[in-house]
Amino acid sequence: MPPSLTDPADLVRRWRLPPGDLDAIAAASARFPLKVSDHLAAQLVGAAADDPRARQFVPSADELVEREGFVSDPVGDAQVQLAGGLLQKYRGRALVVATAACPVHCRYCFRREYPYGDASAVNHWPAVLDALRADPTVVEVILSGGDPLSLPNATLARFVRDLEGIPSLTRLRIHTRFPTTSPARVDDELCALLAETRFAPAVVVLHVNHAAELDEVVRPAVRRLRATGAVLLSQSVLLRGVNDSADALAALSEALGALGVVPYYLHLLDRVRGAGHFEVPEAEGVALVRALTDRLPGYLVPRLVREVIGAAAKTAITG
């Protein structure tokens, strides 16, 4: 993985944040370490902490505030584990927490406290394959994380080959934050893997929250992915101070549409401890999506969803 920014003092210096913020940044980062990709570190030099991109990654004192209802595993991952790192909640598809590593640490992440050490598939791969072979009702594997593209191409290629060898599997999906945070990861080998797999077209779901993330380096990376023939979707989290306006969400949808990416889900925040200051209430989310519906073609309006423990699918929020 390319070098990243992990030292609070470096962050304050490089982004020219108020030096007085360092203590809070260091304290929050002791709970969930600071991590900003090299690409974003460079893009955001001099950006204020309230920049909609910077805000997603700058640790803040708000993270230390305990709030009622904000817990360590808000989506019930611990209860649905089939094998180390293999989770199944929904019919026909299973999610592989491929690895613990991510290109960035998003401060609102619902896996902030996920016990990766015990439960990422890269450490239990034979057991994951056995579980998939044993249950032919699972037809789609979602490589997620952490971020699956944190794995080297050779490991990813081995994973994909092994999955291709399980006849009951018909679809492969990859959920990733890399293209928008560390676009150099979209290299020729990765593109060849996506283009040539028997699962083609693979489905790649990009995690992106603001149009500004689709900068002049990211856009060509997305175009390279599209050239593999993969189906490109996006998922975003509705975040206070990042994308909580109809203008911001519409601009994001337009920017995605221009790259051939279909906005898929807009998630209400999962109520993980430390992320309460990012929450946008459900009613406000509904109103924002209504405003988008008035402005955009239906295919550029993401579905507003919430993850409800025990539900058979992501729960659509329609107001």
Ligand X SMILES: *Cc1c(COP(=O)(O)O)cnc(C)c1O
Where along the sequence are the contacts to ligand X (CB under 6 A)?
A: 87, 89-90, 93, 95, 142, 313-314
Residue 106 binding target from ligand X, ligand SF4, none, CB below 5 to 8 Å by type: ligand SF4
- Does position 55 interact with ligand SF4 (CB under 6 A)? The reply is no
Residue ranges in 156-215 that form contacts with ligand SF4 under rule CB under 6 A? 177, 207
- Does position 267 interact with ligand SF4 (CB under 6 A)? The reply is no
Q: Which is nearer to ligand SF4, 209 or 296 (CB)?
A: 209
Q: Which two tokens stand for residue 100?
A: 């613990």
Residue 90 binding target from ligand X, ligand SF4, none, CB below 5 to 8 Å by type: ligand X
Q: Which is nearer to ligand SF4, 88 or 235 (CB)?
A: 235
Q: Which is nearer to ligand X, 47 or 205 (CB)?
A: 205
**What is d(CA 185, CA 187) in angstroms, rounded to the nearest whole number?**
5
- Does position 44 interact with ligand SF4 (CB under 6 A)? The reply is no
Residue 248 binding target from ligand X, ligand SF4, none, CB below 5 to 8 Å by type: none
x/- letters, 103..142, toward ligand SF4 (CB under 6 A): -xxx--x-x-------------------------------
Torsion of CA 248, 294, 288, 206, to 10 degrees: -50
Q: Is the peptide bond before 201 cis (omega within 30 degrees of 0)?
A: yes
Residue 93 binding target from ligand X, ligand SF4, none, CB below 5 to 8 Å by type: ligand X
- Does position 148 interact with ligand SF4 (CB under 6 A)? The reply is no
